[in-house]
A = this chain, B = another copy of it.
Amino acid sequence: MMIIMQTDATQDQIAAVVIRVEEYGLRAHLSSGEERTVIGAVGDRRPVMMDQFLHLPGVDRVVPISRPYKLASREFRPEDSVFPLDGVQVGDDGIVIIAGPCSVENRTQLLETAHAVREAGAHALRGGAFKPRTSPYSFQGLGEDGLELLAEARQVTGLPIVTEVMTPEQISLVARYADVLQVGARNMQNYALLHAVGESQQSVLLKRGMMASIEELLMAAEYILSHGNERVILCERGIRTFEQYTRNTLDINAVPLLKQLCHLPVIVDPSHATGKWELVAAVSRAAVAAGADGLLIEVHPHPSRAVSDGAQSLKPEPFAQLMTSLRAVARAVGRDL
Contact = CB atoms under 8 A, between A and B. Distances in A.
Nearest to A258: B245
A257 B253 contact: no
Nearest to A42: B33
Contact of A278 (B215, B260, B307, B310): B260
B308 A51 contact: yes
Number of copies: 4
Contact of A310 (B52, B215, B304, B325): B52
Number of chain A interface residues as a range: 35 or more
Interface in A24-74: 29, 31-36, 38, 40, 42-45, 47, 49, 51-56, 63, 65-66, 68
A42 B51 contact: no
B54 A310 contact: yes
Contacts of A133: 191
A7 B289 contact: no
A311 interface: yes
A142 interface: no
B226 A35 contact: no
Contacts of A213: 242-245
Contact of A169 (B45, B49, B132, B169): B169
A39 to B, nearest CB: 9
A325 B329 contact: no
Given A186-B190, A215-B245, A249-B249, A257 B240 contact: no
A173 interface: no
Nearest to A75: B7
Contact of A189 (B132, B223, B279): B132
Interface string A295-308: 00000000111111
B31 A40 contact: yes
A320 interface: no
Given A214-B243, A239-B249, A282 B256 contact: yes
A68 B215 CA distance: 26
- Residue of A49, A214, A277, A303 ringed by the most chain B CB atoms within 10 A: A49
A41 B55 CA distance: 26
6 contacts: A47-B137, A55-B277, A239-B241, A282-B291, A286-B289, A286-B290
